[in-house]
Structure formats: C-alpha cells, structure tokens
Chains A and B, each alone.
Chain A
Amino acid sequence: MTEATFDATAVSPSNARRDFIVRLRSSAEYIAIPVFALVVSALLFSLFLAAIGKSPVEFFELVWRGGFGTAFSVQNTLQRAAPLILTALAVAIPARIGLITIGGEGALVLGGFASAAIAIPMLDRVPPLPTLLIMAMAGALVGGAWVGLAGALRHYRGVNETISSLLLTYIGIAIMNFFVEGALRDLTNPNKPSTKPLGDAYMIGKIPGTDVHWGLAAGIIIAILLHILMTRTTFGFAARITGGNARAALAQGLPVGRLIVTCTAIAGACAGLAGFFEVAAIQGRANASLAAGYGFTGILVSFLARHNPVAIIFVAIMFGGIVASGGLIQRRMDLPDATVLVLQGLTFVVLLVSETLYGRFAIFKAATTSDRT
C-alpha cells in the first residue's frame, strides 16, 4: 500500500473527485473495448470481402448510405431499430442477474401471434385504442411467460437457461405456425398462411412528422425505465447482487428464485412487445414473417452494449442501419442478403474474444492498485 491509500479514508472534496475519476476510468473501458472490437471485426470483414473480390470501401460506403445517408434511409433504420431495442433488452435484463437467455426470437413470435389472435374477435366490435392496449398486454404477457418459463426451469430444476430458451424459441415458432396454418388461418388469403388482417383502422400510427411507428418511442422509453429499474431501485440492486454472486445473495436472504423469474419475465415481455409492434405497425397480421431474426440480432446488440439498456438504444440504431442497408448492398454489389449476417456473426465472435481484455489495461485502472497477497 502507498501512503495515498490511507488518505482515502478521510472525507474531503479531493476524494469526491478521485471517486469520480475511478468511475470515469472504468466506464471508459466499457466504451473503448467494444469500439475496438467493432473496428477489428470491420477489418476482418474487409479481408473477407477482398478475398471474394469485392471492394470493402464500397461496402461500408453503401452501409452508410443505405442506413444513414438519406432521410428515407434513416427512417428505415429507425423502423428496424425499434424491435432490436426490445429484443436486446430481452437479453440484457437476464444478463444482469447472471443468466444468458437467447429466447427473444421465440417470445417475439409468440407475443406477436398472441396479440394478433386476441384482436380477431375484437375487430369492428371494440374501438381501436382499447383493442391495441389489450393486444400489447397479451403480447407482453405471453412473451413474459415464455422466457419466464426458462428462468423458472433454471432456478427450480437446474435446467440451463441458454439451451432451454433457445429450444423454447423453436417450440414458439412451431406453435404459431400450427395455428396460423390451421385454426386461425385467414382463408381469404391464399398466398401465405396468416391470421386475419387487422385492417388499417386498427394499425398503430406513425410518430408525427416521420415515417417511423410508435414502437421506436416505446422501445426507447422502456429501455430508459429498465435502466432506472436496474440501477436506482432496490429490485435492481438485489438483482445485481444475485447476478454477481448467487451464494452471497442467498446469505443476504434475498428471494433469488423470485428475482430470477421476474427478470426473465420482464425480458420476455420486452420481446413480446416487439412482436406486438411488428404485428400492429408493420405486418398487420401474424405469419411466418415474424420470425425475421430480430430476436437473434438482439443478442448481438445486447452484448455489444454490455447489457446496458441505454447503450442498447444506440447500438440498436447502428444495427438497424446495417440491417436496413442489406437490400441496397444486394442490388449494387451483387452480394447475397446473407453477407450482412456474415458481418454480424464475425462481430459477435470478435466481441466475445474481446471480453477477455477487460482489466488488462492499466490506463483504465485506479492510480494505485492494491497488491493481492
């Protein structure tokens, strides 16, 4: 120990500044390392493009133009960011309590289906606003139950939540297909098995002055509320104790099982709401198009944002742009749609590798580190 560490016990204004610097340095690490990972994956992806004889410069230029270059592309990007924010939250909240769930896709599909199904008897009988509220509630409840089930299985029966949430996703998609192709199929639509369309009157509108639906606003508000929940409330504090050390949480008498099930249910509810917005703002009905991969891209978004709900908003917009530029890239560079998936997969692997870098750089550390004997 140096002399300086003894001073830390006294209360003085310089302490407040030092505490602030300690916090600042560690948050700088959380930004610098993911940015570094992004740059590395962009470089690797450039190598991939060069290897198949395409220009990396042109690619990234098109991503920029297709995602953010024009007012139209920005709105297209934001449209796609909305479900990504919610599906990323579906990964981030369980991650705070120490669980890696990847069942957002299933909760999105089932939530979307549930909201479409509950609307069928209400159409033309109940006014649009209450109908939409009930649809949203149905989506959130069904999605919450779906991922909450993975959490409950984990706590009470010791089933690995990553595996069970993934498998529940496939079951969820199968359940939707079962109803959409069977009992709830709209027979007037011969092309694609779907539920009965909501009709324009029952669709969610756009945010005034834009072409972006209200799902974006809802996603941003929910992300901020969940951030506050996890950082500023006793529930969030208890969840962080449980996520950091379940043994310590038990010794503090915290209701670990209830915390786990609640966090996973919140996660599922977010993804279920994403499904509701896809149905009520974009598709107008439930069909196989709901399983468009937003649930899986959300995993990447959450990891890149280090499971921080506010950071998720920005990362989701960035990925919304990449997803939105897919069509343009396909047309201009004669690359398959899946190219964007290669970029995403590559980013994910680089990101997971970069997790090992935390705590390795002195610059992010406090000025004096304690020696461990």
Chain B
Amino acid sequence: MSVDAPVRAMALETIGMTKIFGSFTALGDVSMKVEAGSFHALLGENGAGKSTLVKSIMGYYHADRGSLLLDRQETLIRNPRDARAHGLGMVYQHFTLVPCLTGAENLVISRADAPGVIDWTKEKKSLDAFLDRMPFRAPLDVPVASLAAGEKQKLEILKLLYLDQRLLILDEPTSVLTPQEADEILGLLKGMTDRKEISVVMITHKFREVTSFADSLTVLRRGRRVGGGNVAEMSTDDMARMMIGDTQVRDRAKRAERPAGKTTLDLAGLMADDDEGLPVLAAVNLKVSAGEIVGIAGVSGNGQSQLVEVLSGQRPLKDGRIFIRDAPFEPTRDAYYRMKVFGLPEEPLKNATVPRMSVAENMAFRNFDKPPNAKLGWWLSPGPMRAKARELIARYQVKTQSPDSPIGDLSGGNVQRAVLARELSGDVDVLIVANPCFGLDFASVAEIRSQIMEQRNKGAAVLLISEDLDEVLELADRVAVMSEGKITYVAPVQETDRATIGMHMAGHH
C-alpha cells in the first residue's frame, strides 16, 4: 500500500477539452482546474456535458481536442485502465460492487494484480492494516448485498482508496443515500481533502452539497464552461443562474387550499410476496382522498417498490382489495382507462417506456387503442398519433430531434418529461408516483414536483412513494411511513416532523 507522503492528493487540469458526436458538440473547449487536495464540484443541467467531460478524463471517450494535465504533467489516458494506473478513480451513480461477494473479496479481486490463488490470512492482515489508516470503515466480512446503501457507498470509496487512487471522481454519489448518510460520507471525503490525502471531483445537482462541502466549482451549460471559481465567493443564486442560463424554470406550483375530498383510493389489507415467495407486503392499509397527496416515506427495501408494482399490475396481489371511489380495482387496461389511474414510476426508461419505440409511439401507450389513434378499435392511425406527440413535445418541452426518434436516445430528464406528458395530459383521478425525481437535475425536479402539485390541486388523489424525505415533506398533505411491509404511521404534514418520521422509519413504533 501507499506511503503517506505529505501531499498525496493529485491535481487535475483539462485544457480546451472538446468532444464531438457526429455534428453535435457535447463538450466545447472546456478547461477545468482542480487543485491538489481540493473538493471540486461539477455542476450542470442534464445534457450539459458533465458525464462527457468525466468520461473523457477517465478514458471512456477520446477527446477530439484538448489535453489533460495530472500533477501539471500532460498525460494521455487511452482507456479506463490507464486512468486507474495514473491514480484516477471513479464512483458511479449505481453500485459496481459484486453483490454476492463480501467486502473483503470485492476489494481483493478489484486489484489489478489480484493473485490466482488468494492467501486469505495474508490479505486479511493487510486489509486490517489498510482500514486502520482510513478515516472510516465498512463491514468487510458480510456479502455486499446485505449492506445498506450508505455502507455500500463507503465501500465503493474504500475500494478506490485501497487501489491507491489519488483523485476520486464521484458521479452524483448521494442520489442513493439518506440525507444523514450523504452528509456523513461527504464529510469524510471533505476531511480527506483537507488533509491533502486525495482530491475529489463531484458531479452534483444539489446546491446544499456544493456550499457545505466543496471548495471550488465548475459550471457547465450545453457543453461549455460558463463559470466557476471559489465556492465561498458565490451564492446559490449565482450558481443557479449559471447552470440554467436564460432558460425559464417554472415557478413552483402553489398548494391550493381546498377542503378534503372524498376517499378516492382505498388500499385495504394488501398482501404480496417478493420474488423469492416471501411475504413482503403485510396488510397495507391506506386511504387517499381527492385533492390530496399522501407521501409514503421509508427506508428503501421495506416493501415500497413492491407496493408500486402491485398498484401498477407488475406483481400479483395475494390478498386484500384496492378500491377506487368504492369500486373494486384490478390492474387491467380497461380499469386504468375507466378509473383514470395514471403513474409516474421511478427510472421511466426501465419501467414506463419501450426504448426502441419512437417518442410518438411511447407517448401513445395510454390511448393507442382509442380514437383517434385507432379506428374500429384495432386499426392504427399513425397520423393523429404523431400530431398529438408534436403537441405534447412542445407543451412539455421534451428535447427530441423528432417524434420518430427512439425514446432511448433521449436524456433522462427528457424521457421523464415525455412520460409525464403521456400520463398527465388528460384527466387524472388517481396518480401513483414513485421516486419521480431520482437522478434528475434541479430544473427537471422543480418542474416535475410542480406538475404533481398541479394534479393534486385539480383534484387527483396522489400517492407518492419516495425515498427522498425532503420530497415527501415538500409535497405531501399527509405523511405515511412504511416499515416491514406495513404502514406504521400516518400524520398530517403540519403535525409531524423529521425526528418523528425518522423514528418510525427506523422501526421504533
């Protein structure tokens, strides 16, 4: 392992980095300077070129122009293996550890020189010695699959430190963590940069993380550097203006005061099994009224995603009933249509679209079998379908080259906007929303939340399932907590607080 030199951290600088795809300039002449031992934030909207820049640095892409300086030496990185040899490590948005192996096994096999036969006694000893030098620990003896998200993220970072990386690039590292976990991990990294042990480049959308942890920042917009400097000299307003430019961000929809409506969605004793056949929903009972948002908070893995699957027909209901306006609801196409039930699932590309079908076709999923898209109930008319798509693309500002482009070619925020357009452009009585803002940028998040609020104001019953407590507190009229497959706590949002909700999330009730 490494010798702890006074300044281990590495400086990084890009000069005039340019990457062109076809006729599209993803990255135009971007220069970014990261001092050794600094915590550098890379800010930008979806599609601003953050990932392209980072991938060009890491050797996934070859920049068309520009150069990279590591510790002031011009360096050519041909592929990710080169990057690793030069001490550049990357933590991705999603975990890259092997779930069925233990932490120790993950660390040892990740080494470039991992031996064919592993002497575990020796490795354990050297791992212990390594952990003693680290400012934080993670359990190494249990399979990674059984770790909480925060511990996994720590292990990802430990892996890079174990591999002796001196500059870490983090791609939205906190999107899978609870606020407490995020603060803890960023705090630890901040400590390491302050001691000049490593340098950090963090891609993020969250201003709070920038102001509390970063020293310096670079802001990208449409592939160009539009600002940067010391975080201390900048306000979040400055950052937002640089990020968004002159694009209009919609104002947050106001919560309209309205009398509580009648119960629209009634979940009565829902039971379901997980993929292994073990009970995962243990009698979920919850009522949602018209014009109300009920937010379900909870530590991930307590049955929230299975509840969403049951409500969207992706998982069979073992017992219990779903009622909509007192009528029993089954997740069939006819019932969705008749009872006006819509949904915004998490990861829409995976759950709500067919990536290789066109934007227009994806936008017609709800009504391709209804006039004017279908004549006689079975003959398709692509003309009205495309016309409707054009209208929705304009109204919801979906950035796509054409309604006939495959939806898989769009960026994450635009896929979510296309799904939003499909699900929310008609009359909505019931809206099931699951982690709608997962991995999206500032402007998209504001927009999507205001759209959800608008639906509530128009009288829809909204069930919001989110792992982001801030989102639940911002949107919900009532907060529910899900723990071990049950709703264990329900309270109006004015009568509760983070501490109480947190206690119920942790299972103390």
B contact residues around A373 at 8 Å (CB):
44, 46-51, 411-412, 441
Contact B394 A255 (CB under 8 A): no
Residues of B365-387 contacting chain A, CB below 8 A: 365-366, 368-369, 374, 377-380, 386
Contact A371 B365 (CB under 8 A): no
By size class, the interface of chain B is 35 or more
Contact A22 B402 (CB under 8 A): yes
Partner-contacting stretch, out of B141-149, B331-339, B451-459? B331-339
Contact A241 B314 (CB under 8 A): no
Q: Is B500 in the interface zone, CB < 8 Å from A?
A: no
Q: Is A51 in the interface zone, CB < 8 Å from B?
A: no
A155 to chain B, nearest CB (A): 13
Q: Choose one: B48, B313, B356, B374; the contact of A250 (CB below 8 Å).
A: B313
A238–B357 CA distance with the chains assembled, in angstroms: 12
Q: 0/1 per residue, A217-235, Cβ < 8 Å to B? A: 0000000000000011111
Query: Nearest chain-A residue to B377 (Cβ)?
Result: A234
A contact residues around B356 at 8 Å (CB):
244
Residues of B145-176 contacting chain A, CB below 8 A: none
Contact B411 A368 (CB under 8 A): no
A contact residues around B331 at 8 Å (CB):
250, 253
Given A245-B353, A372-B412, verify A1-B47 contact (CB < 8 Å): yes
B contact residues around A154 at 8 Å (CB):
none
Given A241-B354, A373-B48, verify A233-B378 contact (CB < 8 Å): yes
By size class, the interface of chain A is 35 or more
Residues of A214-273 contacting chain B, CB below 8 A: 231-238, 240-241, 244-245, 247-248, 250-255
Query: Nearest chain-A residue to B25 (Cβ)?
Result: A2
Contact B402 A8 (CB under 8 A): yes
Partner-contacting stretch, out of B16-24, B104-112, B127-135, B294-302? B16-24
A248–B405 CA distance with the chains assembled, in angstroms: 19
Q: What secondary structure prevails in chain B residues at the interface with A? A: loop
A251–B411 CA distance with the chains assembled, in angstroms: 22
Given A9-B394, A252-B336, verify A367-B369 contact (CB < 8 Å): no
Q: Is B436 in the interface zone, CB < 8 Å from A?
A: no
Contact B313 A248 (CB under 8 A): no
A contact residues around B357 at 8 Å (CB):
240-241, 244
Q: Is B87 in the interface zone, CB < 8 Å from A?
A: no
Given A370-B411, A373-B412, verify A15-B354 contact (CB < 8 Å): no
Residues of A1-55 contacting chain B, CB below 8 A: 1-2, 4-6, 8-11, 15, 18-19, 22-23, 26
Given A9-B393, A232-B379, A362-B21, verify A245-B355 contact (CB < 8 Å): yes
Contact A369 B21 (CB under 8 A): yes
Contact B353 A2 (CB under 8 A): no
Contact B411 A371 (CB under 8 A): yes
Q: Is B409 in the interface zone, CB < 8 Å from A?
A: yes
Q: Choose one: B312, B333, B390, B401; the contact of A255 (CB below 8 Å).
A: B333
Q: Is A366 in the interface zone, CB < 8 Å from B?
A: yes
Residues of B329-351 contacting chain A, CB below 8 A: 331-337, 343, 345, 350-351
Contact A234 B411 (CB under 8 A): no
Query: Nearest chain-A residue to B330 (Cβ)?
Result: A253
Q: Choose one: B22, B353, B366, B441; the contact of A367 (CB below 8 Å).
A: B22
Query: Nearest chain-A residue to B345 (Cβ)?
Result: A251
Contact A6 B365 (CB under 8 A): no
A366–B24 CA distance with the chains assembled, in angstroms: 10
B384 to chain A, nearest CB (A): 13
Given A1-B47, A5-B400, verify A247-B21 contact (CB < 8 Å): no
Q: Is A365 in the interface zone, CB < 8 Å from B?
A: yes
Q: Choose one: B49, B403, B409, B414; the contact of A369 (CB below 8 Å).
A: B409
B contact residues around A368 at 8 Å (CB):
22-24, 401
A contact residues around B48 at 8 Å (CB):
373
A370–B24 CA distance with the chains assembled, in angstroms: 8
Contact A22 B333 (CB under 8 A): no
Contact B401 A22 (CB under 8 A): yes
B contact residues around A4 at 8 Å (CB):
401
A243 to chain B, nearest CB (A): 8
A11–B394 CA distance with the chains assembled, in angstroms: 9
Given A362-B22, A373-B412, verify A234-B393 contact (CB < 8 Å): no
Contact A237 B350 (CB under 8 A): no
Q: Is B26 in the interface zone, CB < 8 Å from A?
A: yes
Given A22-B405, A369-B409, verify A248-B352 contact (CB < 8 Å): yes
Q: Choose one: A19, A244, A362; the contact of B354 (CB below 8 Å).
A: A244
A367–B333 CA distance with the chains assembled, in angstroms: 37
Contact A234 B401 (CB under 8 A): no
* Residues of B in contact with A (beta carbons under 8 Å apart): 21-26, 44, 46-52, 222-223, 312-314, 331-337, 343, 345, 350-357, 361, 365-366, 368-369, 374, 377-380, 386, 390, 393-394, 397-406, 409-412, 414, 441
Question: Could you list 12 examples of A-B contacts with CB < 8 Å?
Answer: A18-B401, A233-B380, A234-B374, A235-B378, A240-B357, A250-B312, A250-B331, A253-B332, A253-B337, A367-B22, A370-B399, A371-B24
